[in-house]
Amino acid sequence: MATAAAVGVSLSAPIRTVPVAKAELLGRKPVRIGQMLPLQRMAAAAGRGRVVVVKGTQSSTPPDISEKVEESIKKAEEACAGDAVSGECAAAWDEVEELSAAASHAREALKANSDPLENYCKDNPEADECRTYDN
């Protein structure tokens, strides 16, 4: 059942995939944050006699930056395991912050570049398709 659900084929029992944030996947106590409340409700509704397949939320960050972020978090946790107030610990978490910021910028850049009309108009603002009437 689970494999068929992953492919998206509908069987007798309606299957619903619920995108769940990572915290819930790892069984951590979900924190009351805006984006999680509706998901909790969905998961509860889905649980009533239906098969639920959970998949991690899809991040649109380029994979290489995403990997760097993951690695840096692991390294930071290691660095701070010894001494939580050392310079190395702070520097390691600073690196995590820097890479997370870079990842978020990369995500935005991807979103910004995804519209072919916008990209064309950036280079050719005088073209007929790109004319805007502000006044």
Partner 1 sequence: MASCTIHTAPYSCSISRPAAKAFSLGFHQRHQQLIFFSSGRRSAVVCSAEKTVVIGLAADSGCGKSTFMRRLTSVFGGAAEPPRGGNPDSNTLISDTTTVICLDDYHSLDRTGRKEKGVTALDPRANDFDLMYEQVKAIKDGVAVEKPIYNHVTGLLDPPELIKPPKILVIEGLHPMYDSRVRDLLDFSIYLDISNEVKFAWKIQRDMAERGHSLESIKASIEARKPDFDAYIDPQKQYADAVIEVLPTQLIPDDDEGKVLRVRLIMKEGVKRFAPIYLFDEGSTISWIPCGRKLTCSYPGIKFFYGPETYFSNEVSVVEMDGKFDRLDELIYVESHLSNLSTKFYGEVTQQMLKHSDFPGSNNGTGLFQTIVGLKIRDLYEQIVAERAAASAAAAKV
CA nearest 77: which of 58, 51, 96, 55? 96
Rg (CA), the chain: 22
- Per-residue binding string, partner 1, 11-50, x by CB under 8 A, is ----------xxx--x-x--xxxxx---------------
118 makes contact with partner 1 (CB under 8 A): no
Which of residues 1, 13, 56, 78 is near partner 1 by CB under 8 A? 56
Measured from the CB of residue 11, what is the shortest distance to partner 1 in angstroms? 30
Q: Is 78 in the site for partner 1 (CB under 8 A)?
A: no
Tokens of 3: 């494999």
Residue 53 touching partner 1 (CB under 8 A): no
Phi/psi at 78 (nearest 5 deg)? Answer: -65, -45
How far is residue 10 from each of residues 5, 13, 49, 85, measured CA to CA in Å? 7, 8, 16, 53
Binding footprint of partner 1 on the chain (CB under 8 A): 21-23, 26, 28, 31-35, 56-57, 59, 61, 65-66, 68-71, 73-74, 76-77, 80, 86-98, 100-106, 108, 122
